[in-house]
Amino acid sequence: MKIIVLAGGEGKRMWPIKTDKCLIPFLGKPLLYHNLKKIKENVDGEFVIVASPGAKAGIEKVASELGLNYKIVIQSEPKGMADALLSAKEYLEGEILVVNAEDILESEIYGQVAKGGSEVIFAGLKVKKYFPVGYLKTEGDKVTGIVEKPGEGNEPSDLVKLVVDYFKHGKKLVEYIEKTSSDVDDVYEKALDQMIIDGVEIKFVEYTRAWFPLKYPWHILDITAYLLSKIEQKIDPGAKISEKAIIEGNVVIEDGVKVFEGAVIKGSCYIGKNCIVGNNSMIRESILEEGCVTGFNSDITRSYIGANSWFHTNYIGDSVIEGDFGMGSGAVLANLRLDNHVIRVGSEKDTWKVGSDSFQVDTGRHKLGLIAGKGSRVGVNASTMPGARIGSNSLVGPGVILYGDVKDNTKIIVKQELQESEHTPALTSYDQFREKIK
C-alpha cells in the first residue's frame, strides 16, 4: 500500500505563523513526526509525502528519523488537494491511503480505514457545530454524496469528512481527478462525487474520538492541550532543579533545563532542552520549546511558546508565540475580554489582507492572548489585547496598548509629548515626615 501524506499547501489562514504547519514543533518534535509515527504503527506501506519546496529538508529529517520507507514529491505551487495528488500520480497505483499531514487523530482510525472492505472508504466524524470542511451524505454505511463547505445551516448531515481516504485502485482516482475541473478549490471533492454518480461503492467508517485540525493559529493551543494530556512526568537527569522549586503533575523537563528557587511548574507541561525557568516564575499547562528563558516572576499559562523566546516579569495567557520572541519587563499579553465575549481576531476596518482571506474571524474561544510571528518583540510595560496579532520581525514599543494587528516588519511606538513647567517643592520634606513617624 502507498500512504500518500499531504504536507504541501500555503497555510494563508495561519498568519502571522509562517513555519510550515507540519513542521511546527510540539514536545520537541515537528507535528509531522507525531502523525507519521502513529500511521507507521498502524499501516504497513511506503510513504509518499507531498511537500512544498521549502519544507523538503525538514520533512526528510522527520522521515529518516522514523526509519520510513518513503519518497518526497514536491508540489511546486499551492493549488489544492487535487493538484497535490496529481503531483504524485506516478505513485498512485494499487491500494492507496490519503491522509493530511497536520490533522491530529487517534491512531486506530488509520488501520481501520486502511484494511479496506470496499472500493473506496472514508473516515467520518459527527460534529455538534459547523466546521468549514466537507460533509457526507449517507445511507447506512454508504456515502451517497459530498458537500464541500456548505455553510452553517446548510449541512446535509452532522457527519464531516476527515482526510483518511482509502482507494483500492489509485489509478482510478487519478483518472477522475484529471477529468474534473472547477473554478474553486474543490476538484478532489467533485471527483469523488462523480465516482458516486458513476456507481463506485464508497463506504465510511465512523470515527468517534479526538480530532484537531490545524486551520488557524489558535488551533495550535488545542493541539498543545491534546498532546500535553498524553504525557507522563519525566525529568531528564541532565536538568538542574532547585530544591526550592515546585514541580506538580505530568511535567516533562528535558536535558539542560535550569529551574531556579521559587519557580512553580504545574502540569501538564513540557519544558524543552536548555530552557531556564527563573525565580518565582509560574508555568501552567504550556509548552516551552528549546532554549526559552523565563526571567524573574513571569506567569505563562495555557500557552505555546516557540524556541528561543525570552520573558521577564510578564504575564502570558493563552498565547501562541512562534519563536525568537522577546518581552520587556512589565509587558502583559491579555487573554480575556472583560465582557467575556467570544474573541474575534482582526477588525472589520482592516483594509489589508493575506491572500484572499478576510481578517475578521470568530475564534470560538473566550480566552485567547497574543499570536506572534517569529522574531517579534514587545517593549516594557506594553499591553496587547485579546486576539491581537504581531507579524514576524515586528516591534511593539514601550507603553503601547495594542488592540489590533501589526503587519510583518513593522514598528509601533507611542509618540510621547512632554510638558515642562516650574516646580516648587512641598514644604514638608521627606526628612520631616520621617521625624513624624519615629
| DSSP secondary structure letters along 251-301 | EEE-TT-EE-TT-EEESSEEE-TT-EE-TT-EEES-EE-TT-EE-TT-EEE
Q: How far apart are CA 43 and CA 113, in angstroms?
A: 10
Q: How far apart are CA 326 and CA 311, in angstroms?
A: 6
Element (H, E) at 327: strand 326-327
Place of cell 506567569: 299
Residue 77: the pLDDT is: 84
- Inter-residue contact 141 to 124 (CB < 8 Å): no
CA max distance for the chain: 98
Over residues 8-18, the mean pLDDT reads 88
Residue 438: the pLDDT is: 67
Residue 361: the pLDDT is: 87
Grid cell of 134 as nine digits: 466537507
Grid cell of 41 as nine digits: 504503527
Does position 54 have pLDDT exceeding 60, yes or no? yes
> Mean pLDDT: which of 60-64, 154-158, 430-434 is highest?
60-64
Does position 357 have pLDDT exceeding 70, yes or no? no
Residue 359: the pLDDT is: 56
Compute the Cα dihedral for 25, 27, 33, 35 and give only its sign: negative
Residue type, 119: E
* Residue ranges of domains in the chain: 2-213, 221-412
Please name the residues in contact with 294: beta carbons below 8 A apart, sequence gap of 6 or more.
275, 276, 277, 278, 281, 283, 288, 300, 311, 312
On whether the 221-412 domain is CATH 2.160.10.10, my answer is yes
pLDDT tens-digit profile of 289-334?
999 999 999 999 999 999 999 999 999 999 999 999 999 999 999 9
Place of cell 497536520: 102
pLDDT tens-digit profile of 213-272?
999 999 999 999 999 999 999 999 999 999 999 999 999 999 999 999 999 999 899 999
The full DSSP string for 56-103 is HHHHHHHHHHTT--EEEEE-SS---HHHHHHHTGGG--SSEEEEESS-
List residues bridging with 315 in a β-sheet.
299, 332
Over residues 115-133, the mean pLDDT reads 89
Over residues 157-172, the mean pLDDT reads 93
Q: What share of the chain in percent tops pLDDT 70? A: 95
Reported confidence tier of residue 341, pLDDT bands at 50, 70, 90: very high
What CATH code would you report for 2-213? 3.90.550.10
